[in-house]
Chain A
Amino acid sequence: MATLLPPPTKRQRTDATEKARQQQDVESVPADLGSIRVQFFDQATGSATGPAVSVPVADATVKNLETLLNTLQGNDDDERVPYRFTYQSDDKDKQTIDILADLYHSLLKPGLKTTEDTVPLYFTPQAVFRVKAVSRCSASIAGHGEAILATSFSPISSSTMVSGSGDSTARVWDCDTGTPMHTLKGHTSWVLAVSYSPNGAMIATGSMDNTVRIWDAKKGQALGGPLKGHTKWITSLAWEPYHLQQSGAPRLASASKDSTIRIWDVVSRRIDTVLSGHKGSVTCVRWGGTGKIYTASHDRTIKVWNATNGTLLQTLSAHAHRVNHLALSTDFALRTAYHDHTGKVPQEESEKVAAAKKRFEQAATVNNKIVEKLVSASDDFTMYLWEPESSNKPIARLLGHQKEVNHVTFSPDMAYIASAGFDNHVKLWNGRDGKFITTLRGHVGAVYQCCFSADSRLLVSSSKDTTLKVWNVRTGKLSIDLPGHRDEVFAVDWSPDGQKVGSGGKDKAIRIWRH
């Protein structure tokens, strides 16, 4: 029989409350520090918003700084933007620090700055909308006869999703009602890659049977026969960004195990260019917004190609083992093209292109330059952060994983990089300089994929241990655990509008998660 402890005495209780009060007091900002001079700089352009302003230290919280900056920018009450503030030191190490709660705890207390100095604060606008963490399984839809290998939401909205499966079909799902919409039959082997075109009208599927197929996303019908040419299975697909497409003639890049990349003209159904040069299986292909194609391969290199004429521009070699995955800082903007969070779609074709171009440039502009950063994950347990435009050398080497890194992704606002490894951990890195931020521990099996929410505040990861986990990016803590799958979860995707998460795995059922 367990012995019950006596309830705490009065003295113990008063001691405890006293201690709690003291600990709370430590958190507060001392009132007698006077004021500090703050100058705001735009992270994207690097230009100052105006002269330095004096701010009382006691009130210099992120909330108040936001209000101040909004006033300085002349934003009206109804169009106030949330900002994130960072401080970049002038030293050689170029340390960047996020202002988490207030200036005192982030800068003054660690002794980085004194109240005598002028503090340069770089601001980046955050998403004005807020994605709520998904918390429940709204639908578990059976239909596939074999394991689900890839999923992708439509860029238009969260109501349709496509999944590729080992039963050699791809299926389109209506996520609002949790019902199957179309079955895309035609492949003769597993469907390994699925991808929506940036305007959401077409779906491309790549399969183990060495072919690529194009489907009408609305009607669920095949657009012509298979695109033949590869001699081994298709590993990855990438659509030409919307603002680069010739009107009515979108192109598609497919990477294959046969170590080539083929660029297809989707309408005339012909091979446009064959990019050969890799010596091993090509694992990942990404089509950048500046007209470059980035490919990663088992031959330890990343190659950058010119998409218009198919010439090799650069070879980035630093990895010591096969490169598994690539992510571009502009991935999200390119994937969703002109579909933004307001849901308003331009009518005219030219307006759409302009909107897509504007969104891309907004995402890619840093210090008035269009910069596309690239991060690569490898079997050598490391990742590299590249800026192929400026140098063949990596910006940073991201060390920390203890096993192969399988998947890597940029947050939509480019501030974070998340990497999923076979060592059961997800790690977060700073998207600007590749500095390590935190490790998200919680999975008990290899983590296969991860995906940011549209506002970059949340991250979902799928794992071999049959669960999905939603993480809070800012605090680095587990937000919500989503058990429910019966077996390994191979693929996960967060819809671009942030409402739903779709996942599929070895248990053959698609699961839709929502708030």
Chain B
Amino acid sequence: MPQNEYIERWQKQHGKRLDHEERTRKRQAREHHQQSKDAQNLRGLRAKLYQQKRHAEKIQMKKRIKAQEEKNVKSSAPEEPSKTPLPQYLLDRSQATNAKALSSAIKDKRNEKAAKFAVPLPKVKGISEEEMFKVVNTGKKTAKKSWKRMITKPTFVGGDFTRRPVKYERFIRPMGLRYKKANVTHPEMAVTVQLPILSVKKNPQNPLYTQLGVLTKGTILEVNVSELGMVTTNGKVVWGKWAQVTNNPENDGCVNAVLLV
């Protein structure tokens, strides 16, 4: 368990306060009063910041309402008959083109053995150890031998990771550079969905980086594709699939990947 989630941990162990539901309900009910009070009474910089925040919130709200309305409207555009052959009973149905309807049309390709190892980015530029690690020299002993390293690149840290005692912790993976999700593109369908990362399978730079879960360009990830609704030839739902990172996450602040099919 990550160390910062102490509130959740406490709630798991002891349950919530008995009046928790009521308190949250009341807080929510009071929220509008609080907002209007703030809007009227705040002065100076705080008022400015507050209005900025409200402005952004209101934009989001309007966008959501609009999206909701659009969802309810039936598109009146004449439906193009699809290019791929469909049986009679599927012809007049609006084809669900969202990512959930991703088909498993590309299964033939997976059968070819070579295709399994052919990745979109076969070669990547090397990263030196100096660039990857920063030497930590805080404290008397640590400074003397300089054995502690901080990883300067984005990493994926599994959900069940707990830090070791400071004395034994050789590599520090900073919280701010940890990623749980990747924007994965399906190459054939040309749709992008945000999927949870399950593990780092291979970092082409160094096996050690694979162990540490470093996310650099060309890294092979395993992502959770269960919500895409893919199935194997046996009719089982596919859960984990591999994807390759296509960007430099440290430059972009997000992990973009392409699914290996």
CB distance from B138 to the nearest CB of A (A): 39
Chain A binding surface SS class = loop
Query: Chain A contacts of B232 at CB under 8 A?
Result: 466
Question: A486 near B234 (CB under 8 angstroms)?
Answer: no
B130 in the interface (beta carbon within 8 A): no
A230 in the interface (beta carbon within 8 A): no
Contact with B along A135-153 (1 / 0, CB 8 A): 0000000000011011000
Which B residues, 87 to 110, have Cβ-Cβ distances below 8 Å to chain A? 87-92, 103-105, 107-108
Tally inter-chain residue pairs, CB-CB below 8 A: 75
B47 in the interface (beta carbon within 8 A): no
Question: A484 near B233 (CB under 8 angstroms)?
Answer: yes
B86 in the interface (beta carbon within 8 A): yes
From the candidates A190, A298, A445, A465, name the one contacting B85 in the complex (CB within 8 A). A190
Across the two chains, which residue of chain A brings its CB closest to B93? A404
Query: Chain B contacts of A165 at CB under 8 A?
Result: 85
Query: Chain B contacts of A283 at CB under 8 A?
Result: 88-89
Query: Chain B contacts of A465 at CB under 8 A?
Result: 231, 235
Contact with B along A461-481 (1 / 0, CB 8 A): 001011100000000000001
Which A residues, 138 to 196, have Cβ-Cβ distances below 8 Å to chain B? 146-147, 149-150, 165-167, 190, 192-193
Question: A466 near B231 (CB under 8 angstroms)?
Answer: yes
A487 in the interface (beta carbon within 8 A): yes
Query: Chain A contacts of B89 at CB under 8 A?
Result: 283, 324-325, 406-407, 448
Contact with A along B61-88 (1 / 0, CB 8 A): 0000000000000000000010011111
A500 in the interface (beta carbon within 8 A): no
A235 in the interface (beta carbon within 8 A): yes
Query: Chain A contacts of B103 at CB under 8 A?
Result: 487-488, 506
Q: Which of B85, B108, B229 has the most CB of A within 10 A?
A: B85
Tell me the bound Cα distance from A236 to B233 in angstroms: 30
Question: B233 near A166 (CB under 8 angstroms)?
Answer: no
Across the two chains, which residue of chain A brings its CB closest to B234? A483
Report if A444-B85 is in contact (Cβ < 8 Å); known contacts: A486-B107, A487-B104.
Answer: no
A260 in the interface (beta carbon within 8 A): no
B150 in the interface (beta carbon within 8 A): no
B237 in the interface (beta carbon within 8 A): yes
Question: B104 near A466 (CB under 8 angstroms)?
Answer: yes
Tell me the bound Cα distance from A444 to B91 in angstroms: 22
Question: B233 near A483 (CB under 8 angstroms)?
Answer: yes
Which A residues, 370 to 408, have Cβ-Cβ distances below 8 Å to chain B? 406-407
Tell me the bound Cα distance from A484 to B88 in angstroms: 23
Question: A444 near B105 (CB under 8 angstroms)?
Answer: no
Report if A467-B87 is in contact (Cβ < 8 Å); known contacts: A486-B108, A487-B105.
Answer: no
Report if A298-B235 is in contact (Cβ < 8 Å); known contacts: A146-B85, A166-B84.
Answer: no
Contact with B along A7-40 (1 / 0, CB 8 A): 0000000000000000000000000000000000
Query: Chain B contacts of A483 at CB under 8 A?
Result: 233-235
Q: List 11 A-B contacts (CB under 8 A).
A: A192-B88, A235-B91, A236-B88, A283-B89, A407-B89, A445-B229, A465-B231, A467-B235, A483-B234, A490-B86, A490-B90
Chain A residues within 8 Å of B, Cβ to Cβ = 146-147, 149-150, 165-167, 190, 192-193, 208, 233, 235-236, 257, 281, 283, 298, 324-325, 406-407, 443-445, 448, 463, 465-467, 481, 483-488, 490-491, 506
Known: A150-B88, A233-B91, A491-B87. 15 other contacts (CB 8 A): A146-B85, A147-B84, A147-B85, A166-B86, A167-B85, A208-B81, A281-B92, A283-B88, A298-B92, A443-B235, A444-B236, A465-B235, A466-B104, A481-B235, A487-B103
